Structure 1
Amino acid sequence: MSFLVSVVVQTPAHSALAAALSYRCDRRLQPGTLVRVPLGSREVLGVVWDGEAGGHGEGVELKSIAAVLDGLPPLDAAWRALVGFAARYYQRAIGEVALSALPPQLRNLDATQLERRLGRKAVLRLAEEAPAQQVPEATPEQAQALEQLAAGSGAFLLFGATGSGKTEVYLRSVAAMLAARPDAQALVMVPEINLTPQLEARFRARFGEATVVSLHSGMTNPQRLKSWLAAHTGSARIVLGTRMAVFASMPRLGLIVVDEEHDPSYKQQEGARYSARDLAVWRGHQEGVRVILGSATPSLESWYHSRPASAEDAGGRYRRLDMPARVGAGALPRVRLVDMQQQPRGTVFTPALLEAMRERIGRGEQSLVLLNRRGYAPVLACGDCDWKSECPHCSAFRVFHKVDRSLRCHHCGFTQAVPRACPSCGNLDIAPVGRGTERLEELLAERLADTLRPDGSPVRIARIDADTTRLRGALESQLAQVHSGDVDVLVGTQMVAKGHDFRRMTLVAAINPDGALFSADFRAPERLFALLMQAGGRAGRDAAQGDVSELWVQTFHPTHALFATLRRHDYPAFAAAQLEERRSAGLPPWAAQALVRAEARSQEIAQQFLRAARAAATEAGLDADGRVVAFDAVPMSLQRVANVERAQMLLESTNRPALQRFLAAWQPLLHAARAEHKGVIRWAIDVDPLAI
Structure 2
Amino acid sequence: MAHWLSILVQTPAHARLGPVLTYQSEQPRPAGTLVRVPLGTRETLGVVWNGSAIDATGEIDPDKIRAVAGVLEGIAPLNAAWQQLLSFAASYYQRSVGEVALAALPPQLRELNPKQMERRLKRPKAAAGPDATAAPLSAIPALTPEQASAVAQIETYSGPFLLYGATGSGKTEVYLHCVQTLLEQDPDAQALVMVPEINLTPQLEARFIERFAPIYGAQAVVSMHSGMTNPQRLKAWLAAHSGGARIVLGTRMAVFASLPKLKLIVVDEEHDPSYKSSEGARYSARDLAIYRGRLESAKVILGSATPSLESWHQSRPAEEGGRYLRLHMPSRIGQTGKLPLVRRVDMNHQPRKAVFSLPLIDAIKERVLRGEQCLVFLNRRGYAPVLHCAECDWKSACPHCSAFRVFHKIDRTLRCHHCGFTERVPRACPSCGNVDIGTLGRGTEQLEEHLAELLADVRRPNTVSDAFPEGEPLRIARIDADTTRLKGALEEQLAAVHAGEVDVLVGTQMIAKGHDFRRITLVAAVNPDGALFSSDFRAPERLFSLLMQAAGRSGRDAALGAQSEVWVQTFQPAHPLYAALKTYDYPAFAKQQLKEREQAAMPPFSAQALVRADARTQEAAQAFLNAARQSAQTDMAQWEGWAPLLEQITLYPAVPMSIQRVANVERAQMLVESPSRAALQQFLEAWQSVLHATRGLPECKGLIRWAIDVDPLAI
With structure 1 as the length reference, what TM-score do the two structures score? 0.98
> 2:315 corresponds to which residue?
306
> 2:57 corresponds to which residue?
55
Opposite residue 160 of structure 2, the aligned amino acid is A
| Structure 1 residue matching 2:628: 3-state secondary structure | helix
Opposite residue 452 of structure 2, the aligned amino acid is A
Q: Which of 682, 688, 708 pairs up with 1:667?
A: 688
Distance 1:541 1:241 in 2: 25
> 1:412 corresponds to which residue?
419
> 1:655 corresponds to which residue?
676
The aligned runs of 1:532-551 (5 Å cut-off) are 532-546=547-561, 548-551=563-566
What is the CA RMSD across the aligned residues, in angstroms? 1.3
Say whether residues 1:643 and 2:643 are aligned partners.
no
Distance 1:593 1:547 in 2: 47
Q: Deviations over 1:536-590 (max 9, x none)?
A: 0000001123452100000000000000100000111100000000001000000
8 Å CA contact 1:329–1:546 kept in 2: the answer is: no
Unmatched runs of 5 consecutive residues or more in structure 1: none
Residue 643 (structure 1) shift: 0.3
Opposite residue 635 of structure 1, the aligned amino acid is P
> 1:143 corresponds to which residue?
148
Residue 163 (structure 1) shift: 0.3
> 2:172 corresponds to which residue?
167
Q: Deviations over 1:327-386 (max 9, x none)?
A: 112621100000111112101101100000000110000100000000000000000000
Distance 1:688 1:94 in 2: 19
Q: Which of 281, 290, 294 pairs up with 1:285?
A: 294
Q: Which of 578, 586, 593 pairs up with 2:601?
A: 586
Opposite residue 237 of structure 2, the aligned amino acid is W
The aligned runs of 1:151-162 (5 Å cut-off) are 151-162=156-167
| Structure 1 residue matching 2:152: 3-state secondary structure | helix
Distance 1:335 1:40 in 2: 63
8 Å CA contact 1:186–1:256 kept in 2: the answer is: yes
Distance 1:71 1:420 in 2: 62
Q: Which of 435, 439, 463 pairs up with 2:442?
A: 435
Residue 126 (structure 1) shift: 4.5
8 Å CA contact 2:263–2:298 kept in 1: the answer is: yes
8 Å CA contact 2:10–2:19 kept in 1: the answer is: no
8 Å CA contact 2:166–2:305 kept in 1: the answer is: yes
8 Å CA contact 2:10–2:102 kept in 1: the answer is: yes
Say whether residues 1:363 and 2:370 are aligned partners.
yes
Opposite residue 57 of structure 2, the aligned amino acid is G
Residue 18 (structure 1) shift: 4.0
Q: Which of 574, 594, 604 pairs up with 2:619?
A: 604
Distance 2:318 2:74 in 1: 50
8 Å CA contact 1:333–1:547 kept in 2: the answer is: no
8 Å CA contact 1:158–1:323 kept in 2: the answer is: yes
Distance 2:129 2:186 in 1: 12
Which moves more between the two structures, 9-18 or 416-425?
9-18
| Structure 2 residue matching 1:147: 3-state secondary structure | helix
Q: Deviations over 1:1-45 (max 9, x none)?
A: 212111111112343534411111122110000011110100000
Distance 2:546 2:251 in 1: 19
Say whether residues 1:502 and 2:517 are aligned partners.
yes
Q: Deviations over 1:508-557 (max 9, x none)?
A: 00000000011110000000000000000000001123452100000000
Say whether residues 1:377 and 2:396 are aligned partners.
no
Which moves more between the two structures, 525-534 or 11-20?
11-20
The aligned runs of 1:93-492 (5 Å cut-off) are 93-120=96-123, 122-123=125-126, 125-126=128-129, 132-208=137-213, 209-310=218-319, 313=320, 315-329=321-335, 331-454=338-461, 455-492=470-507
Say whether residues 1:689 and 2:689 are aligned partners.
no
| Closer, same or farther: CA 503–275 of 1 in aligned 2, 3 Å | same
8 Å CA contact 2:11–2:19 kept in 1: the answer is: no
Q: Deviations over 1:291-313 (max 9, x none)?
A: 00000000000000001245xx2
Opposite residue 620 of structure 1, the aligned amino acid is M
Distance 2:561 2:603 in 1: 40
8 Å CA contact 1:124–1:236 kept in 2: the answer is: no
Distance 1:112 1:127 in 2: 32
Opposite residue 449 of structure 1, the aligned amino acid is A
Residue 70 (structure 1) shift: 2.1
8 Å CA contact 2:400–2:662 kept in 1: the answer is: yes
Distance 2:536 2:339 in 1: 29
Q: Deviations over 1:484-505 (max 9, x none)?
A: 1100000000000000000000
8 Å CA contact 1:501–1:538 kept in 2: the answer is: yes
8 Å CA contact 1:385–1:424 kept in 2: the answer is: yes
| Structure 1 residue matching 2:154: 3-state secondary structure | helix
Distance 1:499 1:317 in 2: 27
Q: Deviations over 1:231-260 (max 9, x none)?
A: 000000000000000000000001000000
Unmatched runs of 5 consecutive residues or more in structure 2: 462-469
Distance 1:127 1:574 in 2: 47
8 Å CA contact 1:497–1:534 kept in 2: the answer is: yes
Distance 2:200 2:127 in 1: 25
> 2:464 corresponds to which residue?
none
Residue 57 (structure 1) shift: 4.0
| Structure 2 residue matching 1:540: 3-state secondary structure | coil
Q: Deviations over 1:656-683 (max 9, x none)?
A: 0110011111112111212333311110
Opposite residue 501 of structure 2, the aligned amino acid is D
Opposite residue 163 of structure 2, the aligned amino acid is L
| Structure 2 residue matching 1:617: 3-state secondary structure | helix
Residue 396 (structure 1) shift: 0.2
Residue 128 (structure 1) shift: 11
The aligned runs of 1:612-627 (5 Å cut-off) are 612-618=627-633, 619-621=635-637, 623-625=642-644, 626-627=647-648
Q: Deviations over 1:44-66 (max 9, x none)?
A: 00000011121354547111111
| Closer, same or farther: CA 124–519 of 1 in aligned 2, 3 Å | farther
Opposite residue 509 of structure 2, the aligned amino acid is Q
Distance 2:541 2:12 in 1: 36
Opposite residue 535 of structure 2, the aligned amino acid is A
Distance 1:98 1:390 in 2: 40
With structure 2 as the length reference, what TM-score do the two structures score? 0.95
Equivalent pairs counted in the alignment come to 689
Opposite residue 166 of structure 2, the aligned amino acid is A
Opposite residue 365 of structure 2, the aligned amino acid is R
> 1:519 corresponds to which residue?
534
Which moves more between the two structures, 365-374 or 16-25?
16-25
8 Å CA contact 2:9–2:19 kept in 1: the answer is: no
Distance 1:205 1:85 in 2: 36
8 Å CA contact 1:121–1:226 kept in 2: the answer is: no
> 2:23 corresponds to which residue?
23
| Structure 1 residue matching 2:678: 3-state secondary structure | helix
| Structure 2 residue matching 1:579: 3-state secondary structure | helix
| Structure 1 residue matching 2:301: 3-state secondary structure | strand
> 1:634 corresponds to which residue?
655
8 Å CA contact 1:262–1:298 kept in 2: the answer is: yes
8 Å CA contact 1:483–1:503 kept in 2: the answer is: yes
| Structure 2 residue matching 1:172: 3-state secondary structure | helix
| Structure 2 residue matching 1:675: 3-state secondary structure | coil
8 Å CA contact 2:611–2:669 kept in 1: the answer is: yes
Opposite residue 624 of structure 1, the aligned amino acid is A
8 Å CA contact 2:2–2:25 kept in 1: the answer is: yes
Opposite residue 289 of structure 1, the aligned amino acid is A
